[in-house]
Amino acid sequence: MNSMHEFMSWVASPDSIGLNLIIALAMLVVGWAVSDVLGAGVRKAAARSSRIDPTIVPIVRSIVVWTIRGFTLIAVLARFGVQTASIIAVLGAAGLAIGLALQGTLQNIAAGIMLLALRPLRAGEYVSVVGKADGTVEEVGLFLTHFRQSDGIQITLPNSLVWGNPIVNYSRNATRRLDFQVGVRYGDDLDLAVETLRGLIGHHKLALPEPKPQVMVNEYRDSTVMINIRVWAQSSDYWDLNFDLYQSARKALEDVGLHLPIPVREVRTLTSGGQGA
């Protein structure tokens, strides 16, 4: 009974280490819980608002969560009488040393901030980081950018590589131009071929009337005259139009009597007298 009374007195004492430990533990639990709740709140608020770019959500969530946790740790140390000003100075010096040792990591953070500030890519856009990766942007994080390829494979690149290379954004503009070539054999009616293809494009539901589509002869090959089709489409319809033209253009030409070009080679043989035959 006396030992229990002594324990309760030890805990209840304002200067007791036990009381400070209990309060510090409670502060840690509450601080961590608050940081998680606010982090989840950031995601939910972004999901409900169409005006918030989803690209910036992960990094904003990380900043909110770790800012609260940092203040929580400082408050816990202050509870034990630790001079937080001195700790902040020590952490600043340590941060400088760590920063020098982790220059590449800091470059990724700086690159991530630049990507979020200047927005050369956003979540949901299909981009090509030239020489590195192609895919749909899933997330721009504090250190890494995540892409999903068209075959479902995920690619993760450090932010510094994304920022330090040319970025080709295929989704940013509402429309894209499709260049498509069709071969016609020598001897066939070129005017008929051009008019047939113009009619095909003019009535295609995915082809935009403006800018005006172009159908023109642009190349002569060994056994084929190449006709180039330039047509604009909505970015979301680009590949559907491309794949459909591979089927419908060939069929439209065959329906008017124009046939698939076949490579032709002229072969000559020399007789003993040197005359060709």
At residue 228, does pLDDT exceed 90? Answer: yes
Cα–Cα distance between 131 and 231 in angstroms, integer? 28
- pLDDT for position 91: 63
At residue 154, does pLDDT exceed 80? Answer: yes
- pLDDT for position 260: 75
At residue 142, does pLDDT exceed 90? Answer: no
At residue 234, does pLDDT exceed 50? Answer: yes
Tell me the average pLDDT across 223-229.
89
10 pLDDT tier (thresholds 50, 70, 90): very low
Tokens standing for residue 38: 């606010």
- Could you count the other beta carbons within 10 Å of the beta carbon of residue 196? 23
- pLDDT for position 74: 77
- pLDDT for position 11: 47
Q: What is the pLDDT of residues 170-223, one digit of tens each?
A: 988 999 999 989 988 888 888 899 999 999 998 899 999 999 999 999 888 888
- pLDDT for position 36: 83
- pLDDT for position 168: 93
At residue 275, does pLDDT exceed 60? Answer: no
Average pLDDT in the chain: 80
pTM score of the predicted model: 0.60
Give percent above pLDDT 70 in the chain.
Answer: 76
At residue 94, does pLDDT exceed 70? Answer: no
Tell me the average pLDDT across 144-161.
90
Q: What is the pLDDT of residues 35-49, one digit of tens each?
A: 888 888 777 776 676
- pLDDT for position 15: 54
Tokens standing for residue 82: 């630790």
At residue 269, does pLDDT exceed 90? Answer: no
